[in-house]
Each structure stands twice: as structure tokens, then as C-alpha cells.
Amino acid sequence: MASFPNVVVLDHPLVQHKLTRLRQVTTSTAGFRRLTREISLLMAYEATRDLKLEPVEIETPLEPMTATMLSGKKLCFVSILRAGNGILDGMLDLVPAARVGHIGLYRDPDTLEPVEYYIKLPDDLSERFCIVVDPMLATGHSAVVAVTKLKQAGAKQIAFVCLLSVPEGLATFTEAHPDVKVITAAIDRELDEHGYIRPGLGDAGDRLFGTK
């Protein structure tokens, strides 16, 4: 397998355990949503590892002290619709004050290229760390377009978080955006002829929303 220096695979036992349950065909829609939310919260810890801190003076019940808090304007989560919302929910559990953006893309079934149908982003992206979320990094085309849109809107600090990825998608994405860290729970074997990740977990959007 090719090496991707800017890709972090989260091998934490809880992440891997929940991912295995997520993959199983017998997992219900409710179970899939719950597991996605739980994994996303755990992945948010890694995604926010490099946030800047600043010293603040506080009072504990016993004495004053110098402690640390997040510095300046903080986070923007950007969901690639519709399946990205499954990861967004878990991350907002951890950082409820984060700003949220949405980029609507669907994959043309014939060309496998992304088609944009909606975009709504906060105004101050240049001052925030933007974390783009989508369950799958398959062909990589949607992720490339989404991050390009963010950069065009002024974003300077960006990370991409997904449950599953494949070498083909990682190669496409890292070539287009070598400055953007990818955080994933697994790198699967390959894409099939329809652009689905193998072994994968099926269509994440359909499994999240019960549409198939």
C-alpha cells in the first residue's frame, strides 16, 4: 500500500471496535446512526489536537491559578451533504459552539464526478480551523471539490475527517491538497467498478437515513 505522510489512521481500540460493528450488514439504522455519532466524537479528539491554547487567570474553589483555554475564534465544521451530517452530529456533541457550514455534492453515477447543488459557509473562515466531514473518501473527487471551495472562501487551516478511505481516493486528494491532513478510521482495500469502497460498509447515507 502506498504511503501517505499527511494521513492519520486512528487505530484506537474503541474506534476500531465501533467501526467493525458499523460495517456489519445486520446493524440497524438506529444502531448505524448511534455508532457513527460515537466514532465521530472520538475522531474529533484527534482532529482538534493542534488547536491553539492561551493562558487565562481563573479561581478554583481553593485558590487562583493560571490555566489554559482555546485561543481566538475556534472551529468550523463543514459537512458534505448528506452523509456528512452523521459525523457532524458527533463532533458538535464535543464542540457545540463551533460554526457549521454545508456543501451539497452528489456523485454522477456515470462519470463518478461530483455535482454541486448547495453551499452555505460562515463568513469568517480565514479565522477558523475548518474540519470537513464525510463518512467516505472513495474516489476523492467530492472531497477535493469541497476543500477547494473552502480555500476559495478564505479558509487557511483545514483538515478532512472520514470513517473509511481507500488508496485511490487518498492519492487523488493528497495530490490536490497536500497541505490538508486526512484523519480516517481505516484505509480499505480498493474501489470497485461502481466507485464503492471494498470491503467498506455500503452506502453511508442510505444506512444513516434508512433510504434503502
Residues with a catalytic annotation lie at 107, 111, 203, 206
Listed residue (189, 185, 191, 160) closest to 173, CA to CA = 160
Cα–Cα nearest to 8, from 36, 40, 47: 47
Q: For residue 39, give the 3-state DSSP assignment.
A: helix
Annotated binding-site members for 5-phospho-alpha-D-ribose 1-diphosphate = 82, 107, 134-142, 203
Q: Which of these, 153, 137, 190, lies nearest to 6 by C-alpha position?
A: 137
**Sign of torsion over alpha carbons 187, 188, 190, 193:** negative
Could you list the residues known to form a binding site for uracil, using ranges: 197, 202-204
Residue 94 buriedness (CB in 10 A; 0-12 / 13-18 / 19+): middle
* Angle (CA) 75 81 86, round 5°: 70
Assigned C-alpha cell, 16: 476500531
C-alpha span between 82 and 48 (Å, rounded): 23
Instruction: Tell me the binding residues.
Output: 82, 107, 134-142, 197, 202-204
* Beta partners for residue 102, in sequence order: 79, 120
**CA–CA separation, 160 and 144 (whole Å):** 10
